[in-house]
Structure 1
């Protein structure tokens, strides 16, 4: 036994996805499924038993976010305060550049299933492995799309052994990094739509993100009613992405 081989695992994940496959990949906020080809994404969608209104999100890193999202100066500062200064995970929803090579590589029907209006969601600060995979994919112009590795409505999984068998059966590779960093939140990432300054999903590190917004920008985000009231954390169910 030895340390996780992040560069080697990142290369394996990228090659699998680039060849048309799908992978269960660990992120700090839980296990996700990622793919790029329409066929693999359709296979994941069916395995997860997802409702038609749900969307794929893009696995990203800070560099890809800055290139793809088109945010105003104040909104960029908010993202930077969370992901650079506080080093917290955040799913950023915002207007995007359709001409960016990674976005332009997405087949039109798949792009429609990955966007809401003129906005796209991208997870930033997903962890070291996600950043490494995205760097390779970004360099090669390959989009990484997906969602959480669970049957729809059953909640984020933080250990591979908790992922349902239909999801395992639908992928070509499983990368197991054990219990994920933010498992105590029992939710996926916090998601904010910066085009409307609206919280889409209350998730990991939400109380810390609330404090950043209040203390640095004078913005009061909605209170978390708790998992007993809102297990998924979604405040905008009609547009949920995982």
Structure 2
């Protein structure tokens, strides 16, 4: 079930998820890059300034982009600065309805995990003193990596395994060769499980501005939840012809601090 940038031979029997998770952690905690699946599609992750720079370079990401940070549900409570009403919104979407969701919010810079992020890396993963933290991406590896990141106080960052603007990839064979070649480890667990066919990543909401950032996976369901339970209207998704990458304002962070 594992291979490097070159595909390995098929193996029979049950996958060694625990073993693959350890291999994944060994790579991302030691300046390497790993590709692995979530229910949202395949992602590429790393845990150092050099690794994140390589991700941005190989994906051809513009300087206005920020990379997401791996923060588990419990750690989000410690790191993100949200009020009770905002936490109710997050928990309603992600726990009560079980939907994938990315919160952008101010962070506590004195949290032990955040204090491990060196200044150059902080510039690549935060904007205007906010950080992006996702929930319910799913897959066999993510929750354990979240735990290990907190246990070892080693920040991990990731994004979709694709060339920027080409859509989420739901199978390893659909990932561009330049992305695969950049990875030190590729975990191939077949097609994405729950929402294959979605071409954009997770829906993103900025709690600092209380505005939608990206129309993403399962947006209609998320918009329904927020309207029904919090009387919050999100702008309707105009479709990918009008917004190819799903962003409400593609270059909104171009001049962010």
TM over 0.5: yes
Counterparts of 1:1-242 in structure 2, within 5 Å, are 1-127=12-138, 128-180=140-192, 181-239=194-252
Is the contact between residue 234 and residue 240 of structure 1 (CA under 8 Å) also seen in structure 2? no
Which whole-Å CA distance do the structure 2 matches of 1:178 and 1:60 have between them? 25
- Quote the offset at 1:26 in angstroms: 1.1
Could you state the TM-score of these two structures normalised by the residue count of structure 1? 0.94
- Consecutive unaligned residues of structure 1, counting only runs of 5 or more, are none
2:6 match: none
Query: Which range is displaced more, 176-185 or 163-172?
Result: 176-185
Secondary structure, aligned partner of 2:24 = helix
Structure of larger gyration radius? 2
Which whole-Å CA distance do the structure 2 matches of 1:224 and 1:195 have between them? 21
Is the contact between residue 187 and residue 233 of structure 1 (CA under 8 Å) also seen in structure 2? yes
Secondary structure, aligned partner of 1:52 = coil
Which whole-Å CA distance do the structure 1 matches of 2:160 and 2:198 have between them? 15
- Quote the offset at 1:233 in angstroms: 0.9
- Consecutive unaligned residues of structure 2, counting only runs of 5 or more, are 1-11
Could you state the TM-score of these two structures normalised by the residue count of structure 2? 0.89
2:7 match: none
Higher helix share: 1
Is the contact between residue 18 and residue 36 of structure 1 (CA under 8 Å) also seen in structure 2? yes
Secondary structure, aligned partner of 2:88 = helix
Secondary structure, aligned partner of 1:136 = helix
Which whole-Å CA distance do the structure 2 matches of 1:4 and 1:154 have between them? 30
Is the contact between residue 125 and residue 131 of structure 1 (CA under 8 Å) also seen in structure 2? no
- The count of residues paired between Structure 1 and Structure 2 equals 241
Once the two structures are superposed, residues 145-176 of structure 1 have per-residue CA deviations (whole angstroms, 9 ceiling, x without a partner) of: 12111111211111111111111111110111
Secondary structure, aligned partner of 1:174 = strand
